[in-house]
């Protein structure tokens, strides 16, 4: 317990976070590249086509992980927002605003690939389906967090406002997840759940590998953005000056 508390305390230190994340980033990028290569090969080459949807089902290997990531990232932002508001840990504030562009990008990918998948499946690129509409709302929430943060000149005040919006917007996450159960929707239900999966292993494994690869991409991207934001915010502080002198 003491070690966990010490690690949590260290994470709130910008110099320690900067150095620790610097060690992790290369490993995260390498793991992402390797897993993506394996996942794409298994999904696009080895996995069979669907007996109903044909080759168009291969969009799943990008669409589903992107949709999962769009919700996971916003959920993390809401948790970090709560921590930032209660304990005033600045690193959590940095993580929130650094996550928002990445989460928005995953949401855009999920919406675009979903539309491309919907054309041969539903006969149209877009319907005002419950899940599609709530996913679009999620994109607007990401944009709202980014815009609200940029509306303030003082970073700490901007981060608190963005944190509050992230917490309030989290109410949309269960709507996205349960929309296929609560409303009559064209979107298919979840094929992977607590009771197991209805997807054949030859298609399931590439999907899971791509989902894990996306998480490593997010981790590497998040830490890289956070390090850069810390340098910009603390460019006049002693630890940054010492860091620059060491590198020079």
Minimum mean pLDDT range among 81-90, 106-115, 168-177, 188-197: 188-197
**Confidence bin at 196 (pLDDT 50/70/90):** low
pLDDT digit string, tens, across residues 17-46: 999 999 999 999 999 999 999 999 999 999
DSSP the chain: -HHHHHHHHHHT-HHHHHHHHHHHHHHHHHHHHHHHHHHHHIIIIISPPBTTTBGGGGGHHHHHHHHHHHHHHHHHHHHHHHHHHHH--HHHHHHHHHHHHHHHHHHHHHHHHHHHHHHHHHSSS----HHHHHHHHHHHHHHHHHHHHHT-SSHHHHHHHHHHHHHHHTTHHHHHHHHHHHS--SS---SEETTEE-S-HHHHHHHHHHHHHHHHHHHHHHHHHHHHHHHHHTTTSHHHHHHHHHH-
- What is the rounded average pLDDT of the residues 156-179? 95
pLDDT digit string, tens, across residues 126-165: 888 888 999 999 999 999 999 999 999 999 999 999 999 9
Percentage of the chain lying above the pLDDT 70 cut: 88
Distance CA 47, CA 58 (A): 9
Q: Mean of the per-residue pLDDT values for the chain?
A: 90
């Amino acid at each position: 317990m003491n070690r966990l508390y010490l690690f949590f305390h260290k994470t709130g230190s910008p110099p320690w976070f900067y150095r620790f994340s610097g060690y992790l980033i290369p490993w995260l990028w390498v793991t992402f590249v390797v897993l993506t290569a394996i996942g794409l090969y298994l999904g696009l080459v080895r996995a069979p086509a669907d007996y109903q949807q044909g080759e168009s089902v291969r969009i799943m290997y990008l669409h589903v992980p992107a949709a999962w990531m769009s919700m996971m990232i916003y959920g993390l932002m809401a948790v970090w927002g709560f921590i930032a508001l209660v304990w005033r840990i600045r690193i959590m504030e940095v993580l929130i605003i650094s996550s928002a562009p990445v989460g928005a990008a995953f949401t855009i990918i999920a919406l675009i690939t979903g539309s491309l998948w919907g054309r041969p499946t539903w006969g149209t690129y877009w319907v005002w389906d419950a899940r599609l509409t709530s996913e679009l709302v999620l994109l607007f929430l990401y944009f709202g967090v980014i815009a609200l943060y940029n509306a303030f000149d003082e970073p700490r005040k901007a981060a608190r406002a963005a944190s509050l919006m992230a917490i309030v917007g989290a109410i949309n996450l269960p709507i996205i997840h349960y929309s296929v159960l609560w409303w009559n929707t064209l979107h298919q239900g979840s094929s992977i759940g607590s009771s197991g999966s209805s997807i054949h292993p030859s298609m399931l494994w590439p999907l899971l590998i791509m989902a894990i690869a996306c998480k490593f991409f997010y981790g590497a991207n998040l830490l890289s953005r956070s390090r850069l934001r810390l340098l910009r915010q603390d460019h006049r502080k002693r630890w940054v000056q010492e860091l620059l002198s060491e590198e020079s």
